[in-house]
A and B are shown apart, each in its own frame.
Chain A
């Protein structure tokens, strides 16, 4: 390829890489790379679930039980969307995956600094659905 052609290719690719910045629009694989960039407050709101076994003892649900993934980033997004669409279906799915006797799907708000330091962190909690296991 001629030298001019290489420059054109190089400039075109640079423009493509910078386009998301210019347009302020994130995408894939051309991205604004906003991870960890935004100002992050000291609270988190998310949808999660609590569960108890047949003896009434609380059990800790795994991330796979909750959202069939091992990535908390994906899990939070999935749970938010599924709870918005059909919280009862989400509850039944979690109960089936976990084998818990009772599952409660909740939307909670936590103080993340307190949580990281091992202190009580719940600021608000709303029950979205409750269901029995299989």
Chain B
């Protein structure tokens, strides 16, 4: 990014390519998640109504959807997600995919267990779906650039949604920290609660025919190891705002938080896919540089309007001034 763009400020302006890169990375990850978990989502069409306990938007339903409606919702959402990731008819597919994902994940959480690991993904996709994320590296921007050679100008138009996604990540972790002290109390920090959670998760999986982490038993036997881990967890959650400082503070927090999720996955086989795949943290970084410097640039690069660098020459939209 040019120095002109950098002058827009760390959370002020951003080039259109950054928001476009986030569209590709985050929406692509969300679509991949839907496809990988397709059997689970398809199974939602065949569950009995005895366990239906609607949350959020699903409260408009008084009974579960039929198989056909669930399947239409799933495949329409995937199709919209693919189109939105490519940036095709984004003003329609972006919001529509976000709403479809919200509806689908809300419905999935309406059978007695709220699946918290989907929340941050949905919130990020809602922001992206309503943002002008197809002004670069998109089918839309290619078609537009044939008519209008003026490149998209960097500014708050693109930086605002990115800052909002970063802020949502930060607040989410702080809320998780508040929950630990609110529901668990200060004793959460001594490690016994965490040890019991590891043991509980392992026992639950074992008794229900699931897979048990091979390190769970060792961790329970050496529970003293979990005390610093518990304290570090709470410090990281309440310390999330340091990620907004960028530089080493951001890098350190993101790395430590990612390792925290790796630890959770290894010890409890509980996978928070959004942070584990890096999607939760992507808004903190200039992700367009990754795309520009990789093989992907051969594909998306053709979509760059001529003189894209001019977009970085300090021109901003009205809100950037």
Q: Which residues of A does B touch, CB under 8 Å?
A: 1-3, 6, 9-10, 13-14, 17-18, 20-21, 26-42, 44, 46, 48, 60-79, 81-82, 85-86, 108, 110, 112-113, 115-118, 121
Contact = CB atoms under 8 A, between A and B. Distances in A.
A67 B208 contact: yes
Contacts of A65: 209
Contact of A1 (B160, B176, B199, B206): B160
B237 to A, nearest CB: 9
A117 B221 contact: yes
Contacts of B156: 6
A40 B198 CA distance: 10
B210 A116 contact: no
Contact of B102 (A13, A29, A35, A60): A29
Contacts of B197: 36, 40
B319 A6 contact: yes
Nearest to B233: A36
B210 A117 contact: no
A112 B196 contact: yes
6 contacts: A28-B106, A41-B196, A78-B112, A112-B202, A115-B207, A118-B217
Interface in B142-181: 156, 160, 164, 167-168, 171-172, 175-176, 178-180
A72 B40 contact: no
B208 A29 contact: no
Given A29-B119, A77-B113, A34 B220 contact: no
Contacts of B199: 42, 112-113, 115-116
Contact of B200 (A28, A44, A77): A44
B319 A17 contact: no
Given A3-B319, A66-B208, A75-B208, A18 B203 contact: no
Nearest to A35: B116
B183 A39 contact: yes
Contacts of B286: none
Interface residues of B, number: 65
Contacts of A26: 114
A21 B221 CA distance: 34
Contacts, number: 188
B183 A34 contact: yes
Contacts of B202: 112, 115-116
A10 B203 contact: no
Interface of B: 40, 43, 47-48, 50-51, 55-56, 102, 105-106, 109, 111-116, 118-120, 122-123, 156, 160, 164, 167-168, 171-172, 175-176, 178-180, 182-185, 187-188, 193-210, 216-217, 220-221, 318-319
B208 A46 contact: yes
Given A46-B204, A68-B43, A112-B202, A37 B188 contact: yes
Given A1-B319, A65-B209, A116-B220, A39 B187 contact: yes
Contact of B175 (A33, A39, A79): A33
Contacts of A110: 203, 207
Nearest to B207: A48
Contacts of A9: 164
Contact of A77 (B43, B112, B160): B112
A63 B56 contact: no
Contact of A28 (B105, B171, B201, B216): B105
Nearest to B179: A37
Contacts of A75: 208, 210
B171 A85 contact: no
A112 B203 contact: yes
Contacts of A40: 193, 196-197, 200
A71 B167 CA distance: 30
Contacts of B106: 28-29
A66 B208 CA distance: 7
A112 B183 contact: no
A34 B175 CA distance: 9
Contacts of B196: 40-42, 112-113
B175 A28 contact: no
A115 B203 contact: yes
Given A21-B178, A28-B114, A37 B123 contact: no
Contacts of B160: 1, 6
